[in-house]
Structure 1
Amino acid sequence: MKSRYQFCTQTAVAALLIGLTGAAQAQNADTIETVTVTGFRASLASALSAKQNSNLMIESVAPEDIGKMPDKDVAESLQRLPGVQIDRVAGEGTQVRIRGLSYNVTLLDSDVFVTGREMYTSGEGSGSGAGNLFQNSLEGIPSSLIAGIDVYKSPNAALVAGALGGTVNLRVRNATDGEEGLKIGGNVGVSYSQGAAHATPAGAVVAQYKFSPNFGVLAAISYDEHDVRVFEAQAQNRGNWAVAGPTTGIDNNIGKNYIEQELAYLTNQKVDRKRLGTFLGVNYNPVSSVQMGLSWFHSFLTIGRQDVSDKLFIHSNGEAQGLDASKAYSVDDNGVVLAGTFRSHSAEGATLVEKDKNIGDNVQFNIKYDNGGKLRASSKFSYGKGSMYSEFVQADFRQSGYNIDFGNRNASNASLFTGNLPGNHFANWKACGGNKGDAGRTLNPVNCDFSYTNVKGLYQRVSYNIADMLTNPDYILYKSHWGWDVKSKNDQWALRGDVEYDVIDKVTVSAGLRHASSNVDYDFGRFLLNAYGNGTCSFNDASRSIVAGVTHCANGQGQLSWEMDQTIRGPWTYYQDPDLPFVPVQTATTNPERLKMIKDFFPAAGISEMLAQNPDQMMSDPKAWLQSINPNAPLQRFKDAINSFKIAKKVSEGYFMVDIGKPADGFHINTGVRVVKTQLDIGQYILNSNPAPKYISTATWNGLPDVGSTSYVVTKREYVDILPSLNAYVDVFEGHKLRLTAARVMADANPWQLGAGMYYNFTHATADVRCNVAVQASTGVCSHDGFYFNNGQGGNNQLDPYRANQVDISWEYYFGTQGLISATLFWKGVDSFTTSSTISTTVMDDFGGTAGGITKVTNGRGGMIEGVELNAQYAFENGFGFNANYTYAKSKTQNATAFTSNLGFPGVAQNAYTLQAYYEQGPFAGRVSYTWKGSAVGSAYQTLSVVSTATGGTKTYGVFDRSYGQIDAQLSYNITENLGVVLEGRNLAAEATSSYLQYKNQPFTYDQAGRSYALNVKFNY
């Protein structure tokens, strides 16, 4: 049944179509003439003029001065527009959502634009989840190089296809605009973020020289650094959440079921961004009827990230035993733990570093012909090339007893184990750990318990029963070390031609052809260590021999087959762990140079400081640092085939449009159709299931099958989309404009979801834990430690594009000095969204095979989004002014939890608004803005989570983003006509982004980046 709103919208559309018969064309309405502006008031006037004069549904942002956009990056420059929301990572805007949708297109002067940040995934790592994805992030584009930004919510047929939500068009400057001679403008300054170690520099310079009315050159450069300290709490991990009960394998002695995750992380995160952008443009008009332009846009973004995490063992591999019934606890009626003491045999921390480099280069050449007659023509060639290289290394450090078979594997380190009881092998034997049920397991019988307080559903506040648990070096053993990287290349080119012809007075037809080609090469790799080195048992001992697949050393000691079976897994190892052969045992007392005390760790969570593996050592050269852990063992990068892919795309498209009416007539109708043919070649590696895969590493959990265990498959896809569009307006009476738009739109499926193969997660378990599982114990294969299959996920090369129909109707009233009141009703019906389905599958592992859930992305049913946008702004003659907007968006998809059906679109807040007030008079100017968006279905990490129930089944819980509001302010003073100072403050209330799992008081993620400030000097000549 249609909603009342949908019925009213379609009725209004039909009425307007009857009144505005005919068809029209928009005369390249997506190109808006550059307006030179000075000051914030003038920038609003320029954006308002663009909106009023456009034939399309458009929102615009104009620069305040040359080289001065309102925010650091393009995403943040768009956050205050009606119907636009952004995602944030480490306190900075990344992905733009137009009417809640992230499937948008970013163009540079209406065609190809590549930054190298189109597709990014973090892979794995404690505190980071698995496969976090940020698509089309705009954080790498310095806004100071942009002449303006247009957001198209409705397309015409001439606009490049591929946007489901809308199109972001970045405009560049024309070097022949303005007066002849030299003109220079820009700003320099410093910025500082709360908790950062020091202030960082920023600046931009734009220089234009117009030699004559027909020839000009423009060059620009922008650079900024931004260091951020983030307090992070998160609960994503490889194992599922569970409700502690009699059949979930979780000890529960309190007599009441409660929700708990495998691990929780409290993280001190440091993020350093460095952005460099350059632009060079040449414009030449050889004759009055011909205009030519050549431009080059270069962007360079580096991100250094350091995470130090305290892992809370809430339920993990039998190392934690749930709430302590002998201590006070509080669990609400939904099973959310509000307070209590968790019993644990283990304590552990982790240091993760990430080093990103993103490069984008874009070249465009265009030529236009217009002699003032009936015929106009243009042609453009665009080329973009982007690359990303990300390196990651992680080190886990144990703060509890860790059992190591030093006699069999690390005899040279036996002196570290002095003080152990016979048969026990704990280098950090002073640490906590308890006996885990078998007497003498460790010399320290004290558990690693911690008290837990739920802080308003945002994060956990903890206190360990051992006061110096996190600061005493005697407890620390350096455990696992591993690394991985991502190499991504993306190149695109496009050639287009467009013609317009005035058939009769007030009627213009236009047509165009465009051919584009793109290639994505996504390469995921892991760093493996040759632990057994060139045929020797160790690097100092006699040679080894292999008998029946088991490695033997010259001293007669044998190695466990699951570790050393050369015929199955080869000599390589991923995790460098002292529990594996020939990985050195290092502790904080023997290697104190590896330690760093992290001050101000996470005070709100109860941790003021913590000893950790020094992230600075790892950051300068991650791979070299990893090699230094075992310098005698060769380290080599191996391609992770099942997580790598290539996609080649060719697009051939053409359009035809008709335009009726001119601005002086008080009405305009544009109608047309764009036909798009898409060809895809999707190349991916598929893991063979029969026979069982062989791995080039010491255990299946490394996820690196050898070449013979995979098949490279190229899947060819081809589809044609016919995309009609209608854009019309009528000036009902002076100042009042009524608009109607309707269109069919489409966007390609996420390339990572199209290309990724099947990926399996494995978890380490000791023999006693796995053998306590009845079905495994009966097989007799639990006589050794190993890795068992946990779950898996993969992509789907048969995913269809996203397709939707949309309708907008708006009323706009322009009055007085920069006065606007507008209201827009919008509706978008999406044919199909992707969804995930999980199937229980048995995968071979070190225990003879374990059943786990395999999650695969599939085509699902559609959904809809409908709502209203309200907008108002005015500039008073006394210098004061304001602008405000509100968006209500109601959305519905097929996604459902066990509690709610038809969840909304991920990331779409039902309510969002922006309030901004400013004053600008004489040399002084100031403004303050507040941007707020309400709660939404989770978007940044995941939408749904499968939870094991207390009775042995599963239940789907939802992940929801909490509402978020941000206050920004700016003060400026012009010392002279050509010189001024600007003071800025962002997120002045120090708000944090956060999400919860199903219940508002069940913490899931929390990120607090704090306030940031900037002081700039602006200039022009």
Structure 2
Amino acid sequence: MSYMKYAPRRAALLAGISIATLTIAGQASAQDAASMPQEATAEEGNAIVVTGVRASLSSAQSIKRNSDVIVDSIVAEDIGKLPDRNVAEALQRIPGIQVQRQYGEGSSVAIRGLTQVRTELNGRDIFTASGANQLSLEDIPSELLAGIDVYKNPSADQIEDQLSGTINFRTRKPFDFDGFKAAATLTQSHFDLVDKFKPSASLLLSDRWDTGIGEIGVLASMSYQKTAFRQDTISTEPFYTLDPSNESDAAVLATLGRTGQATTLPHGTGIGQVFGDRRRLGMDFAVQWRPSDTLELTAEVFRSDYKFRLDDYSFFAYTSTSAIIPQPGAPFSYADNGDFQSGTFIDLPIGDNTSAQTRRSKTTDYSLNLKWEPTANLTVRADGQYVDATTRNLRSIFGLNGTADTLYQDISGSVPVVNITASNGLANVATYNSAFYLDNLNESKASDKVGRLDAEYRFDGGILSSIKAGVRYGDRRNKTIDTGYRYTGLSSIPTQLETVNLDDFFRGDADLFGDIIAFQRGIIQNYQQTLDVLGIDGPPAYVQSGTNQQRQKSYAGYATAFFKTDPVDGNVGVRVVRTNLDVSGYYQQTPIIIGDDGTETTGPTVFNPIAVSQSYTSVLPSLNLRVHLADDLQLRFAAAKNIARPSFTQLNPSLTLTEPGSAQQDQVHTASGGNPNLKPMKSDNLDVSLEWYFSRTGSLTAAAFYKRIKNYIQTAVSTRTVTFDNGNSYDYEVTSYNNVATGKVKGVELAYQQFFDFLPGPLSGLGMQANFTYVDSKAPSPATAGPVTNVPLELLSKYNYNLVGIYELGGVSARVAYNWRSKYVVTTAGNGTGNLPIFNKPFGQLDASITYNVTPEFALTVDGVNLANARRSTYFGIDTRPRDVVVNDRRISLTARITY
């Protein structure tokens, strides 16, 4: 496997290769490069043949050296063998990419500090129906992919809407192979924290034939993956600074002996233990027909079917915005700035929840491509695509409420100490005085109809080498229906409870409060059974007010000129895009109704419709230059303008407010909604890179980049007082989005790769890949006062590096990879943070794998993820206010791979 710059033109990349020849193929598109035969043919006598990881590394270097634009790639060393089994985690090895994790797996990425990433499948749109405008990376089985390309600075012929870059997933085609091809993998994985085994398998069959109507190829590929996880979390939130002008706060300061001193106290703490699993089912079917040497048609159906499920226990003690009462006379400690570090509180509410969540996402991509070469100088492509995507979500929460006698906290160490006591014990039902149930269902359906026509004319001589022009039309729709959260206050506490033993929580490293009692996991996992046990008559109904819709039409045209004059070559072009956008939804309020028997249920919703339309035109020029300073040294320069449209989720105008029930009075009341008036983000991009190729498998490169972003979209939280029709008023912390004035991103990437073939004997199998990224950014914080007024852009680490040690000799191939990133902003504002940003502390993860080729057709691989049991931690604005500490599974897998 290699991580490399991938040339979308002038490249002979062998998708999914294990044997490569280092040649330069003339100008070719990314689709051309990805669909070339598995074994390329060099000119007679000029072929240099290498195998395995060396083939990937050598091809990477050759392609990077001869590319027109700046692109990094990952290529599967063999069929069904990306270096990491999770797509996002494979991408994190590329310079400039940082991965976000969800329940132990990589789920999304930022490119050069920006999360506005465009996702494509074979150069076309691909997305998950969730309003995010991109594909959820955790949905895709990696075994279906031949490679992944990451475009960092666009050229005019690339589709817009890629502020940070474009990730293009490439699948295999039947014409990639000389004839019949079969490959299969079988994997068994163990996840140590949840202590479960889960299987995975994949199968590829492909063949091609000469017929009376031309050459025909057929390929079918399928992948099935199951994974499990457990995540343990200790949380501290929210923090509030005591106000001496407030009578209640003044009394607390007096009790603490802190009158006249700045003092900040947390108003709660808790633990969560999440159990879950994922299932990925992917299918790819492709047919190619070449009736003549000048005409080729490709039809493909790609389907991703993803299931996600979790259930959890959570136990917490907190007072929300109400004052928290210190225990008189108990010792307290503080940081130098007055932030709480340890102490004991009394008489505070406790919550004991059991919940479940499911998501199922299906995306089907139908595409038809025609490539026609009417003359030796002209190539015409016509492309049609239809995407059908659906997502269904369910959230189900059972809660108990009671009162704790004492809460002792010590947050000064790496693992917070949490001790909660109640006179009857936390595992005694008598400790709890009320119970409630919440459920919510929502469904999203999205589609995309795309047509595209491109033509390229190549000149036989002169400075101008070719001209490429094209047009594209896209019509994307998204519709979401949502029941809103239904609240059901229970008249009594159910008997279907169980004792939860927390002895092994946090791998036994946590100082906790012993056992708790909770609603049975075996019931909460089954939604219908939960409703039956609680006596609830069916799921909540979808109502008109729970609907929001978005429709986006785009009309694009571009022209690009490619030129070459010694020692400079490159391209210059412009793309013009017209966007028409319509969004609609509802502002709604749902009150609580108290029945004759005192039970509380949600009442009829009052709603008002909202509809907003926008239209705008974007002119996006681009320039890519390369200067050949010497045979092994070259300098690149790129400049471009780009846009990133707000996601459908960010534009959603709907806001749903449900009145809290009596059992929720002590909680922070929250809501979230979009902003239909958001503008597209605009960026001016500059890139420069210097590349030195000192051997066949050795290179050292440096790149610098700068992005100036207007209308950057940022998360913001505002407090709103909401009055319902029954006259009750509550404060809600509402999360939404706005366009800040300007954001700036600049940085440097360094990359090195080499196999140490010059070493003697077995040491000649050693190799190394290393890269380092520095990204600096700044944007205004939503906070107007306090310790943090400026923050980096969300999900951006200033420093990031990868160290990958490789060994390949004979039938053995091994790899040890360590990825590290510095602190980053999770969100610029969060509920209960006092409008402070939430930071994730520095994080590093160690992964490894070893493969033994038993025969040329059969190999065994053992790989491990999170081998060092890394912990993730977050904090509010400043590190004396910790938020979460999280541990996840280690995963060990054994894979058998057969290729014929």
Please classify the TM superposition score into its range, dividing by the shorter chain length. 0.7 to 0.9
Partner of 1:452 in structure 2? 409
**1:115-126 correspondence runs (5 A):** 115-116=128-129, 119=132
2:520 alignment partner, one of 594, 614, 629: 614
Answering whether residue 268 of structure 2 is matched by residue 255 of structure 1, we say: no
Answering whether residue 750 of structure 2 is matched by residue 864 of structure 1, we say: no
- Rounded to whole Å, the distance in 2 between the matches of 1:381 and 1:105 is 19
Taking structure 1 as reference, are residues 156 and 702 closer, same or farther at Cα in structure 2, changes over 3 Å only?
farther
| Alignment deviations for residues 691-724 of structure 1 (CA, whole Å, 9 cap, x no partner) | xx6748559x9997856x3222322111110000
| Alignment deviations for residues 16-72 of structure 1 (CA, whole Å, 9 cap, x no partner) | xxxxxxxxx975357534474963332333333332232110100000211111122
- Rounded to whole Å, the distance in 2 between the matches of 1:637 and 1:235 is 33
- Rounded to whole Å, the distance in 2 between the matches of 1:902 and 1:518 is 36
**1:843-862 correspondence runs (5 A):** 843-845=722-724, 848-850=728-730, 856-862=736-742
- Rounded to whole Å, the distance in 1 between the matches of 2:889 and 2:550 is 40
Task: Name the SS of the counterpart of 1:637 in structure 2.
Answer: coil
- Rounded to whole Å, the distance in 2 between the matches of 1:183 and 1:209 is 6
**1:882-901 correspondence runs (5 A):** 882-895=768-781, 897=783, 898-901=786-789
1:915 alignment partner, one of 803, 807, 812: 803
Answering whether residue 132 of structure 2 is matched by residue 219 of structure 1, we say: no
| Alignment deviations for residues 332-367 of structure 1 (CA, whole Å, 9 cap, x no partner) | 222332221121243331111101111111111101
Question: What is the deviation of 1:282?
Answer: 1.0
Question: What is the deviation of 1:577?
Answer: 2.5
TM-score, normalization by structure 2: 0.87
Answering whether residue 446 of structure 2 is matched by residue 490 of structure 1, we say: yes
Taking structure 1 as reference, are residues 307 and 947 closer, same or farther at Cα in structure 2, changes over 3 Å only?
closer
Question: What is the deviation of 1:224?
Answer: 1.2
Gaps in structure 1 of 5+ consecutive residues: 1-24, 121-134, 401-432, 434-446, 529-573, 579-584, 688-692, 767-784, 949-954
Partner of 2:353 in structure 1? 350
**1:230-379 correspondence runs (5 A):** 230-235=231-236, 241-243=240-242, 247=246, 249=248, 252=252, 253-256=255-258, 258-313=263-318, 315-316=319-320, 321-370=324-373, 373-379=376-382
- Which letter does structure 1 place at the counterpart of 2:234? A
Question: What is the deviation of 1:316?
Answer: 3.6
Taking structure 1 as reference, are residues 478 and 189 closer, same or farther at Cα in structure 2, changes over 3 Å only?
farther
Taking structure 1 as reference, are residues 792 and 187 closer, same or farther at Cα in structure 2, changes over 3 Å only?
closer
- Rounded to whole Å, the distance in 1 between the matches of 2:841 and 2:585 is 37
1:670 alignment partner, one of 550, 571, 589: 571
Higher mean alpha-carbon deviation, 69-78 vs 375-384, is at: 69-78
Gaps in structure 2 of 5+ consecutive residues: 1-25, 40-50, 758-763
Question: What is the deviation of 1:760?
Answer: 3.6
Q: Percent identity?
A: 25
Task: Name the SS of the counterpart of 1:214 in structure 2.
Answer: strand
Partner of 2:510 in structure 1? 605
Report if the CA contact (8 A) 2:37-2:177 is conserved. no
**1:288-687 correspondence runs (5 A):** 288-313=293-318, 315-316=319-320, 321-370=324-373, 373-398=376-401, 400=402, 433=403, 448-456=405-413, 458-466=414-422, 469-475=425-431, 479-505=435-461, 506-526=464-484, 528=486, 574-578=487-491, 585-587=492-494, 591-592=495-496, 597=501, 600-602=504-506, 603-607=508-512, 609-620=515-526, 622-631=527-536, 634-639=537-542, 644-661=547-564, 667-687=568-588
- Which letter does structure 2 place at the counterpart of 1:601? F
Report if the CA contact (8 A) 1:272-1:304 is conserved. yes
Higher relative strand content: 2
Higher RCO (C-alpha under 8 Å, 6+ residues apart): 1
- Which letter does structure 2 place at the counterpart of 1:298? R
- Rounded to whole Å, the distance in 1 between the matches of 2:708 and 2:845 is 31
Partner of 2:103 in structure 1? 90
Partner of 1:737 in structure 2? 634
Taking structure 1 as reference, are residues 683 and 1000 closer, same or farther at Cα in structure 2, changes over 3 Å only?
same
Q: Which structure's CA Rg is the greater one?
A: 1
Question: What is the deviation of 1:472?
Answer: 3.7
Query: How many residues were matched structurally?
Result: 838
- Rounded to whole Å, the distance in 1 between the matches of 2:582 and 2:600 is 29
- Rounded to whole Å, the distance in 1 between the matches of 2:131 and 2:52 is 33
Task: Name the SS of the counterpart of 2:836 in structure 1.
Answer: strand
Question: What is the deviation of 1:593?
Answer: 5.8
Taking structure 1 as reference, are residues 454 and 788 closer, same or farther at Cα in structure 2, changes over 3 Å only?
closer
- Rounded to whole Å, the distance in 2 between the matches of 1:711 and 1:922 is 70
Question: What is the deviation of 1:899?
Answer: 2.5
- Rounded to whole Å, the distance in 1 between the matches of 2:500 and 2:813 is 45
Question: What is the deviation of 1:918?
Answer: 0.7
Taking structure 1 as reference, are residues 610 and 789 closer, same or farther at Cα in structure 2, changes over 3 Å only?
closer
- Which letter does structure 1 place at the counterpart of 2:477? N
Question: What is the deviation of 1:732?
Answer: 1.4
Report if the CA contact (8 A) 2:321-2:668 is conserved. no
Report if the CA contact (8 A) 2:445-2:478 is conserved. yes
Question: What is the deviation of 1:592?
Answer: 4.7
Taking structure 1 as reference, are residues 71 and 852 closer, same or farther at Cα in structure 2, changes over 3 Å only?
closer
Report if the CA contact (8 A) 1:51-1:60 is conserved. no
Task: Name the SS of the counterpart of 1:171 in structure 2.
Answer: strand
Higher mean alpha-carbon deviation, 191-200 vs 56-65, is at: 191-200
Question: What is the deviation of 1:789?
Answer: 9.6
Partner of 1:554 in structure 2? none
| Alignment deviations for residues 249-285 of structure 1 (CA, whole Å, 9 cap, x no partner) | 4562212354334433311111211111111111110
Answering whether residue 13 of structure 2 is matched by residue 110 of structure 1, we say: no
Report if the CA contact (8 A) 1:723-1:743 is conserved. yes
Question: What is the deviation of 1:685?
Answer: 0.9
Answering whether residue 201 of structure 2 is matched by residue 203 of structure 1, we say: yes
Partner of 2:43 in structure 1? none
- Rounded to whole Å, the distance in 2 between the matches of 1:825 and 1:229 is 40
- Rounded to whole Å, the distance in 2 between the matches of 1:317 and 1:386 is 41
Question: What is the deviation of 1:786?
Answer: 7.4
1:960 alignment partner, one of 821, 831, 839: 839
Partner of 1:145 in structure 2? 144
Question: What is the deviation of 1:763?
Answer: 4.6
Report if the CA contact (8 A) 1:95-1:138 is conserved. yes
Task: Name the SS of the counterpart of 1:651 in structure 2.
Answer: strand
Question: What is the deviation of 1:987?
Answer: 1.0
Report if the CA contact (8 A) 2:715-2:828 is conserved. no
Question: What is the deviation of 1:681?
Answer: 0.9
- Which letter does structure 1 place at the counterpart of 2:864? G
| Alignment deviations for residues 290-328 of structure 1 (CA, whole Å, 9 cap, x no partner) | 111111111111111112011122x2475x733223222
- Which letter does structure 2 place at the counterpart of 1:71? D
Answering whether residue 685 of structure 2 is matched by residue 806 of structure 1, we say: yes
Report if the CA contact (8 A) 2:311-2:524 is conserved. no
Answering whether residue 162 of structure 2 is matched by residue 163 of structure 1, we say: yes
Report if the CA contact (8 A) 2:644-2:680 is conserved. yes
- Which letter does structure 2 place at the counterpart of 1:612? A
- Rounded to whole Å, the distance in 1 between the matches of 2:770 and 2:856 is 30
Report if the CA contact (8 A) 1:279-1:298 is conserved. yes
- Which letter does structure 2 place at the counterpart of 1:670? N
| Alignment deviations for residues 369-389 of structure 1 (CA, whole Å, 9 cap, x no partner) | 125611110011111111111
| Alignment deviations for residues 125-163 of structure 1 (CA, whole Å, 9 cap, x no partner) | xxxxxxxxxx74210011110111100001111111111
- Rounded to whole Å, the distance in 1 between the matches of 2:247 and 2:840 is 28
- Rounded to whole Å, the distance in 1 between the matches of 2:852 and 2:682 is 49
| Alignment deviations for residues 722-772 of structure 1 (CA, whole Å, 9 cap, x no partner) | 000111112211121211111001011121121132344655569xxxxxx
TM-score, normalization by structure 1: 0.77
Report if the CA contact (8 A) 1:32-1:50 is conserved. no
- Which letter does structure 2 place at the counterpart of 1:450? L
Taking structure 1 as reference, are residues 26 and 944 closer, same or farther at Cα in structure 2, changes over 3 Å only?
farther
- Which letter does structure 2 place at the counterpart of 1:449? T
